[in-house]
Amino acid sequence: MKKSLNKYFERSFKKNWDRPALSDYQGGTYTYADLARKIAKLHILFETCNIAKGDKIALCSRNQANWAVSYLAGVTYGAVVVPLLHEFKPSNVHHLVNHSDSKILFVGDTMLENLSIADMPELEAVFTVNNLNLVYAREELYNTAFNDLDRLFQEKYPNFGPDDIKYYEDQPEELALISYTSGSTGFSKGVMIPYRALEYNVTFATAVEPQMDNQSNVVSMLPTAHMYGMIFEFLFEMTIGAHVHFLTRLPSPNVILKAMAEVKPDIIITVPMILEKIYKSKLLPFISKSRMKLFLSLPGIDQMILSKIKKSLVESFGGNFKEVIVGGAALNREVEAFLRRINFPYTVGYGMTECAPIIGYEAWDKTKLYSCGKPTQNIKVKINSKDPRNLPGEILVQGDNVFLGYYKNPEATAQALQNGWLRTGDMGVIDSDGFIFIKGRSKTMILGPSGQNIYPEEIESSINNLPYVSESLVIDDHGTLTALIYPDFDSVDADGIDHASLPHILESEIEITNLEMPNYCRISKVEVFPEEFEKTPKKSIKRYLYQR
């Protein structure tokens, strides 16, 4: 049976006409009727200005309700949406708008100030996302259509209502969007996502979160231009009539927790960094006290304390959620072990942009410690290894979630899609129960002096648990391992430590970590970085910037 993602939206908008759909946190709210009306106006504008099905429409702004309006207007019209991360530098935006052949650009006010429309010569029109105003038109046709839009809308829909919604019926193999990712290992490539991949992910979310419905609330804290946030904090919710609350400013842990307490979301989608910062700033100081360590070692008393910690943590996230789904990167092993010890309802999933994004998942009460779930329904996953249970190999994926290829890049497409399988670039194993355990990226794996495979992410997980370490990178430094460390300066200053003595203190701590590592994984040198490492929007460090 053919499935159409746009028809899911159509049914949902009709059914939930008067219910809230999109809100800017501490700002205004659109109902599904408001959303449908704005989409209908943009459809009239596209049609009047001769935008064809399959034409490209680029979006570049921070998360906000009008970003969602622009996205849905494009996809339900039959255009190909090109979401660009607002963290991209202006020169990169220029390049990607041109590379994608976009005809229209919806852009945030702040980004617009730094862009040169002259450097995007194929653009026909530019709209601001913040208020959906037309700010540039190559031809007078756009100005005329925009100024007459209210009249054109009234003529077409004298009494606009649910029965007036008739969205483009997409085909499974048809291109829905081009996602340019800011990866941790190099320059952006345009990932061509078909409708079947979006539909697969939405259907997956519907199946594993049956408690979610048109009464549900979600806080959108991840960039919606990235597949992880786009699917699970926006598109899925739109198909079930839920209410999405966009955090429109930098989502620091304090901002996130404040929003959670007010909105009380039914599901929480996050990246490891958020949980790790909460653990390190709020939980670790409490459980590290000498008296608390003693109590946690006493049977019976430890469970009472752990239960109170769990209750407090659950309440800090609003207290109304079924589980916290973590994705985008590996969760620190110490943090994960502690969350499991207090029975906190979290689970770690596995995905990538090329799979829009889901590959692996298991519910929090069924998953295994340190795994990222099992292959999702009807998806095939195998390990390119002689011993897939014990010897790490590249993870290969096959299924409806897999992308079509890279836009205008047949060489990269041929490298990624081989013999009907997607080469993920991730190294891992699958145990006898089907659980996936990721060891690291094939591109970041370091070959040891005697041919051993060294996964820097595993070493970094241990280093990041040391006192005064905020984050770290382990690199191959001409045959030896060097740890690049960005210190936790707040803790350093709170303890009155002279910054000049930091390298010596960190080297002493690293020696302790080295004792727990095989010889070929031991750190030979420590370098202190004064600033945070540059990151992708999903908060993975851009490792390629620091390789030697």
What region does 479 belong to: left with phi over 0, alpha with psi -120 to 50, or beta? left
Residue of 113, 110, 154, 106 lying closest to 134 (CA atoms): 106
In sequence order, what are the residues at sequence separation of 6 or more whose Cβ sits closer than 8 angstroms to the Cβ of residue 224? 63, 67, 68, 71, 83, 230, 233, 234, 246
437 in a structural domain: yes
Its sign, for the CA torsion 362, 405, 407, 81, is negative
Task: Give the single-character DSSP code of 390.
Answer: T
- Residue 379 and residue 428 in one domain: yes
Instruction: Show the tokens assigned to 20.
Output: 């809230």
Number of folded domains in the chain? 3
Asked if 17 and 94 sit in the same domain, the reply is yes
Could you tell me if 279 and 338 lie in one domain?
yes
**Per-residue pLDDT tens over the stretch 281-316:** 888 888 888 888 888 888 889 999 999 999 999 999
The answer to whether residues 142 and 56 belong to one domain is yes
HSE, side-chain direction, 13 A CA sphere, residue 19: 18
- CA 368: distance to chain centroid? 22
Does residue 65 fall inside a structural domain? yes
427 and 361 together in one domain: yes
Same domain as 61, residue 117 = yes
C-alpha–C-alpha distance, residues 533 and 531, integer Å: 6
How far is residue 509's CA from residue 417's CA, in Å, rounded to a whole number? Answer: 43
Query: How far apart (Å, rounded) are the C-alpha atoms in residues 409 and 178?
Result: 13
Please state, in angstroms and rounded to a whole number, the distance separating the CA atoms of residues 227 and 209.
Answer: 18
Task: Kindly report the pTM of this predicted structure.
Answer: 0.85
Q: What is the DSSP string of 8-70?
A: HHHHHHHHTTTSEEEEETTS-EEEHHHHHHHHHHHHHHHHHTTPPTT-EEEEE-SS-HHHHHH
Q: Could you tell me if residue 19 is inside a domain?
A: yes
Whether residue 218 is found in the same domain as residue 307: no
Domain for residue 51, yes or no? yes
Tell me, yes or no, whether 261 lies in a domain: no
Same domain, 278 and 414: yes
Cβ–Cβ < 8 Å for 384, 394: yes
> In the listed set 390, 419, 441, which residue is the last one of a domain according to the structure?
441
Q: Is residue 251 part of a domain?
A: no
Q: Which of 412, 441, 470 is the last residue of a domain?
A: 441
Q: What angle do helix axes 32-48 and 140-147 make, rounded to 10 degrees?
A: 140
Closest Cα to residue 35, out of 238, 221, 195?
A: 238
Give me the count of residues in the chain.
548
- Choose one of 421, 441, 461: the last residue of a domain: 441
SS3 310: helix
In this structure, is residue 257 part of a structural domain? Answer: no
Q: What is the pLDDT of residue 444?
A: 78
- At 503, which CATH number? 3.30.300.30
Q: Which stretches in the chain have pLDDT values below 50? A: 184-185
* 259 assigned to some structural domain: no
In which domain, by residue range, is 276 found?
A: 268-320+323-441
Q: Does one domain contain both 174 and 51? A: yes
Same domain, 507 and 433: no
The answer for residues whose C-beta is within 8 angstroms of residue 199's C-beta and 6 or more apart is 3, 4, 5, 8, 172, 400
Q: Same domain, yes or no, for 154 and 131?
A: yes
DSSP states along 460-486: HHHHTTSTTEEEEEEEEETTEEEEEEE
Same domain assignment for residues 285 and 240: no
The closest alpha carbon to 73, from 49, 101, 45, 99, belongs to 45
What one-letter code names the amino acid at 11? R
Q: Is the peptide bond before 345 cis (omega within 30 degrees of 0)?
A: no
CATH classification at residue 369: 3.40.50.12780
Helix (H) or strand (E) holding 264: none
